[in-house]
Chain A
């Protein structure tokens, strides 16, 4: 397999990574080798984050055929998360390419969520950081990868 994106950068150099393919290679995600696989499917993968007990890192790829949105450069809706607060500042002020159009390939949206306990209870059982990235394979194909870093609510903030 072509490793494509090259080596992970300095920030993660301490943990050698391997590439995890989603959607038969439509997206390739670097994942530390020492994280064990909890589940794996054609377009999804979840790993146990070894550094924090009970923490997981999940990725899910969804693809769409939407030539009209690509032609109109109107892909914002693919970055919206149905269960999260309004989009972050990054989406409001997206990275621009040379023509001044939003450069969705470089845009990452970050949401912060919490996971509750049983229905009706206010207790927070986990904190979830969600990122979404969108990519286009012209002329028809849109890909969205959602990343979820889930940590138990009792996790020491210094370890997150």
Chain B
């Protein structure tokens, strides 16, 4: 009896015709999907290994180049609960943050992306140079802000490459891949609402 009804549910399943944000982080040839601390879904090359900042498993997520250590990617996020997340102007909030961070930094490049193709999201990038243990580093900082069911989540990404490796043949393509995947990264509330779907009227 119920089995026939189950078949009906299966048969009536409906699909979105256009790719969703979730489709855009789907595993692909050479890329795997990692859910990072329940708030960020990021696609990275299959050879990458995620580690945590602290030995006890806490802190930011960090990726280092397997074997060669020519770059480091740090990933972190903060989720804010907001009573009415729809009322938050994500683009304006991210732009205000962009202007403040740009003014307080020595960034040589700065770019804001209103992400009109991804409603409810906005991001910006700041590129700067620094020195660490006598080594000159190029740091690209991305901040991505997204509206979620229960508030706003802010994800940050730091892509750090020693200047001596910037001219390596594969570095431009790798940096482009990182930027593309950060733009596609899914930023969600750490704990999605249990029942967030409206009824179809049935």
- With contacts A7-B202, A43-B22 taken as known, whether A37 is within 8 angstroms of B13 at the C-beta atoms is no
In the complex, chain A residues whose CB is within 8 Å of the CB of B1: 158-160
B47 beta carbon closer than 8 Å to chain A: no
Tally of chain B residues near chain A (CB < 8 A): 43
B25 closest partner in A (C-beta): A63
Q: How far is the CA of A136 from the CA of B56 in the complex (A)?
A: 42
| Cβ–Cβ contact B6 & A147, under 8 A | yes
Q: How far is the CA of A40 from the CA of B193 in the complex (A)?
A: 8
Closest CB in chain A relative to B149 CB, distance in Å: 11
| Cβ–Cβ contact B2 & A160, under 8 A | yes
| Cβ–Cβ contact B23 & A66, under 8 A | no
| Cβ–Cβ contact B188 & A9, under 8 A | no
| Cβ–Cβ contact A147 & B197, under 8 A | no
| Cβ–Cβ contact B200 & A63, under 8 A | no
**Total of A-B residue pairs, C-beta within 8 Å:** 157
Q: How far is the CA of A24 from the CA of B19 in the complex (A)?
A: 10
A25 beta carbon closer than 8 Å to chain B: yes
Q: How far is the CA of A63 from the CA of B15 in the complex (A)?
A: 12
In the complex, chain A residues whose CB is within 8 Å of the CB of B197: 1, 18-21, 28
- With contacts A33-B199, A52-B2, A65-B28 taken as known, whether A25 is within 8 angstroms of B16 at the C-beta atoms is yes
Interface residues of B in 1-46 (CB under 8 A from A): 1-23, 25-29, 31, 41
Interface residues of B in 155-202 (CB under 8 A from A): 186, 188, 192-202
| Cβ–Cβ contact B9 & A23, under 8 A | no
B23 closest partner in A (C-beta): A141
A23 closest partner in B (C-beta): B22
Q: How far is the CA of A29 from the CA of B21 in the complex (A)?
A: 18
